[in-house]
């Protein structure tokens, strides 16, 4: 496996990826019109998005958190633990 050299171009690329991702999140979640887009400082000066946190804590975005729904990763871990306990109790490990 060949690792990419971490030169200026690499860091520029990573920064651009982060900015593009965050600007897409802002545009899609806040339903901007074309004229409203230029009013938002985050979209007028996209370089600020590189280190800025873009997140929302509304019930629509954090559905699992507000309604105490476990994430898929936790469900898989619980199933694996239950299987281990079941195997241990049945002595078939």
Domain ranges of the chain: 1-55, 58-93
**Per-residue DSSP letter, 53:** -
pTM above 0.85, yes or no: no
The sign of the dihedral angle between the CA atoms of 75, 76, 81, 86 is positive
Q: What is the pLDDT of residue 14?
A: 92
Q: What is the pLDDT of residue 35?
A: 64
Q: What would the two tokens of residue 45 be?
A: 């000066």
- Output the CA–CA distances (angstroms, integers) from residue 79 to 10, 67, 69, 87, 90, in the order listed: 40, 21, 15, 12, 16
Q: How confident is the model at residue 42 (pLDDT cuts 50, 70, 90)?
A: confident
Q: Cα–chain-centroid distance for residue 50?
A: 14
pLDDT digits (tens, 9 = 90+) for 15-39: 999 999 888 888 777 766 666 665 6
């Amino acid at each position: 496996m060949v690792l990419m050299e971490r030169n200026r171009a690499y860091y520029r690329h990573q920064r651009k990826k982060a900015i593009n991702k965050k600007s897409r999140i802002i545009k899609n979640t806040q339903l901007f019109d074309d004229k409203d887009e230029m009013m938002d400082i985050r979209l007028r000066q996209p370089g600020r998005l590189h280190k800025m946190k873009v997140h929302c804590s509304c019930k629509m975005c954090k559905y699992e958190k507000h309604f105490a729904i476990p994430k898929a990763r936790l469900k898989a871990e619980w199933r694996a633990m239950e299987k281990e306990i079941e195997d241990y109790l049945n002595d078939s490990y």
